[in-house]
Amino acid sequence: MHPGVIAFIVLVVAYFLFKEGFRRYYEAKYEGFFETGHYKEAIEALDKMPARLTLTTYRQYYLRFLCYQAMDDEEMATRMIELLVRMRNSAKRQAQTLAVAFNYFTQLGNKDRCKELLAQLKASKAADRAVVADCQLTYDIVFSKKHGYIDQMEQMLKKEKNPALQGKLCFLLWKQYANKGDKTHAKQYKRRFEELTKTNTNQQAAA
């Protein structure tokens, strides 16, 4: 093999190793700040030029979305999730992003936006049908004020080990008890949901 070709291959390999090393470094740095509640510092880490060069645009916006959501900065979190939804994504990633956006706007109580996102999810051939069904059920509970799934979901919650699914169940139980007019149980599940949300957000940042 010609020495020039070998040198070129070595340079290409070195570049990708260098890029991967920086990516891991800045993701680890971000996660360290995020998990300790230093959200502004986490965003500053993403603002560094090496982070901008090594992390994909989608990943940058997603991590920023998690930060702003954790900071209760609704304006910036909304801006980030809307940018993610409008990006040119693969069909599978777009379906996943729509589900994330749907759940986010559900928590904000934005019925119109949730209705639009649910329609897009239903129209997506790449969307997991179980996810679509879950979003439809969530919409019915949160916006159509249904509360006929309490017993079933409480039994599911007792057996569920996944913190993310525990959080979703607590959210839906909170809303159902509120729909039913049971403020005591609604408050209990709301508190539990908020506690689980903190844990789940940290796990999402590391994913």
- pLDDT, tens digit, 9 for 90 and up, residues 96-146: 999 999 999 999 999 999 999 999 999 999 999 999 999 999 999 999 999
Residue labelled with tokens 């209760």: 72
Rounded to whole angstroms, how far apart are CA atoms 113 and 121?
Answer: 12
Q: What's 148's DSSP letter?
A: T
Q: Is 82 exposed, middle or buried (0-12, 13-18, 19+ CB in 10 A)?
A: middle
The pTM of the full predicted model, rounded to 2 decimals, is: 0.81
- pLDDT, tens digit, 9 for 90 and up, residues 11-45: 333 333 334 555 566 677 778 888 888 899 989 98
Question: 193 near 201, Cβ under 8 Å?
Answer: no
